[in-house]
Structure 1
Amino acid sequence: MSGFKKFLFRGNLVDLAVAFVVGAAFASLVKDFATSFITPLIALLGGKPDYTRLAVTINGTKFPYGVFVTSAVAFVITAVIVYFLVVLPTAKLIERMDRGKEATERECPQCLSDISVKARRCRYCTSEVVPLAEMPH
């Protein structure tokens, strides 16, 4: 039983659980934003994007492809919202925060792996490299 307790309370599992809960709350937030603002804007331009009633019947079997089309439209709207309101601003913020930082890694000239700027030998391909501090500028 103690092994099970260790498994449950390991940092990785707790972090994953917190990320899952926050991700679910964020998904709900994005969905509600799309429903409240984006979908009505689209409806102003070209009608409400609800295609759930679309279906085709072949030999008496109904294929409700409209459900998939509606989900695909919702996915694209959600992806656009997440990209422009979360990913892009976060990337710009991280870039702005990292401007003044000194580089701690560089590429190995032989295998192009990231290695420390102080390294004398690549840890991946073991080729000798000149530390950046000793390189002529």
Structure 2
Amino acid sequence: MSDAGKLSLLAGFKEFVMRGNVIDLAVAVVIGATFSNVVNSVANGIINPLVGAFGTKDLTGYSSCLKGPCVVNGKGEVTSGIHSLWGSVVSATPTFLITAAVVYFLMVLPVARYLARRAARQQPVEVTETIAEAEVEEITPLRDIRDALVAPRSGGTA
């Protein structure tokens, strides 16, 4: 590859990385990873003990054997049968719901409201500009018609 090709490749990569949306995405990933610790703490510290008041605190321990006798060895591994760990799904569900609620109410909803207010503020300007453009487009044919009507009276051509 020539030096010019390497430079354009590096320049293209630099342009890609320096775009705002790539940097915003990187920040979102870092914040999301950190935020997952908060959500897990809430789930493990509040939700699981509440569920534990009605059953067991460790929901991941719930399981069923779907087919045949499930034989578990000393390491806790299932050696025969089909073992379903449905408790882990039940345990992950509150974590998902908490995460979804926090993301919706603290991020999606405020941003949607902000964008709606911003669009409402910008809309009258755009409507006024559109009306002005429409008036200019309507005036031009009217002028042509007027000139065509006046031309025979003055003896000129259209």
TM (norm. structure 1) is: 0.57
Given that 1:30 and 1:81 are in contact with CA atoms closer than 8 Å, whether structure 2 keeps it comes out as: no
Aligned to 1:65: 86
Given that 2:64 and 2:85 are in contact with CA atoms closer than 8 Å, whether structure 1 keeps it comes out as: yes
Tell me the CA shift for residue 18 of structure 1: 1.8
Aligned to 1:117: 130
Q: Equivalent pairs: percent with the same residue?
A: 21
CA distance in 2, matches of 1:69, 1:43: 10
- What's the CA shift string for 1:83-130, capped at 9, x where partnerless? 01111122223333444322537xxxxxxxxxx83697xxxxxxxxxx
SS at 1:117 equivalent:
helix
TM (norm. structure 2) is: 0.51
Say if 1:62 and 1:38 are closer, same or farther in 2 by CA, change over 3 A: closer
1:48-87 aligned at under 5 Å gives the runs: 51-57=59-65, 58-59=67-68, 60=80, 61-87=82-108
CA distance in 1, matches of 2:104, 2:23: 22
CA distance in 2, matches of 1:74, 1:132: 57
Q: Which ranges in structure 2 are unaligned for 5 or more consecutive residues?
A: 1-5, 69-79, 139-158
Say if 1:38 and 1:65 are closer, same or farther in 2 by CA, change over 3 A: closer
Q: Which ranges in structure 1 are unaligned for 5 or more consecutive residues?
A: 106-115, 121-130
Q: 1:90 aligns with which of 111, 115, 122?
A: 111
Say if 1:34 and 1:132 are closer, same or farther in 2 by CA, change over 3 A: farther
Judging by fraction of residues, say which structure has more helix. 2
Q: 2:126 aligns with which of 95, 101, 104?
A: 104
Q: Name the amino acid aligned to 1:100.
A: R
Q: 1:31 aligns with which of 36, 45, 54?
A: 36
